[in-house]
Amino acid sequence: MMWYEDDELWEKFYDCMFDRASFELAQQQVSQLLTLVKHPLDSVVDMACGPGRHCLALAKMGFEVEGVDISQFLLSKALDHNNSNQLNIRFTHADMLTYKPQEPVDLIINMFNSFGYFDSAEKNQQFIDNCYVNLQQTGSLIIDTVGKETLARTIEPVHLTEYDNGDIRIERPLLVDNMQVFSNEWLLI
């Protein structure tokens, strides 16, 4: 099992990863990413949607939205947010390497650096290929990721974050193998 498939991890770190501010930030991110789309847009799939932060923002703007994630825990949180906002987002438990929507869509997004989690370049390519075949002919794929040069310039040796619920996260990021691999150690207190 890959780390991102571990629902215990998501349960433990949920409150510090997906606080209220992260949902507010998602609204801004969606507005920014939509400026990149230069074609008519109705349907959007958010691959690796997590708790549905970007799905919520897109649905509030009137788009037909589907969120896809491999974590049942995160999908349950996404569904809770959907229901409390009285939206009509479809959430699907699936692996983004093989997921197929019911019909091709106008836009696929992959946010929060979830591209590159795979253990091989072949699987990264498989994800891109899978997205390509599931887009309308004029559709777009937007992947949110941070380049290693940007990361190396801004990375802190140790970072402390205190959250509204009193938790403190100690984070020690590492760039290894000539900046080819990013590793992150977290301690939640």
Measured distance CA(119)–CA(123) in Å, rounded = 7
Residues 102 and 158 in one domain: no
pLDDT at 76: 98
In the predicted model, is pLDDT for residue 98 greater than 70?
yes
Please count the structural domains in the chain.
Answer: 2
- Residue 181, domain extent: 154-188
Measured distance CA(81)–CA(26) in Å, rounded = 14
Q: What is the CATH number of the domain that holds 47?
A: 3.40.50.150
Residue 141: beta bridge partners? Answer: 108
Say if 37 falls within a structural domain.
Answer: no
90: left (phi over 0), alpha (psi -120 to 50) or beta: beta
pLDDT in tens, 25-72: 999 999 999 999 999 999 999 999 999 999 999 999 999 999 999 999
Measured distance CA(136)–CA(107) in Å, rounded = 8
Say if 105 falls within a structural domain.
Answer: yes
Minimum mean pLDDT among 31-35, 121-125, 156-160: which range?
156-160
Residues 83 and 173 in one domain: no
Residues 135 and 159 in one domain: no
Residues in the chain: 189
Residues 101 and 8 in one domain: yes
pLDDT at 180: 66
Residues 84 and 137 in one domain: yes
Residues 110 and 172 in one domain: no
Tokens of 144: 């949110």
Strand segments, DSSP code E, in the chain are: 43-47, 64-69, 90-93, 105-110, 135-143, 159-162, 168-176, 181-188
In the predicted model, is pLDDT for residue 21 greater than 70?
yes
Measured distance CA(162)–CA(46) in Å, rounded = 29
User: Span 138-165, mean pLDDT?
Assistant: 82
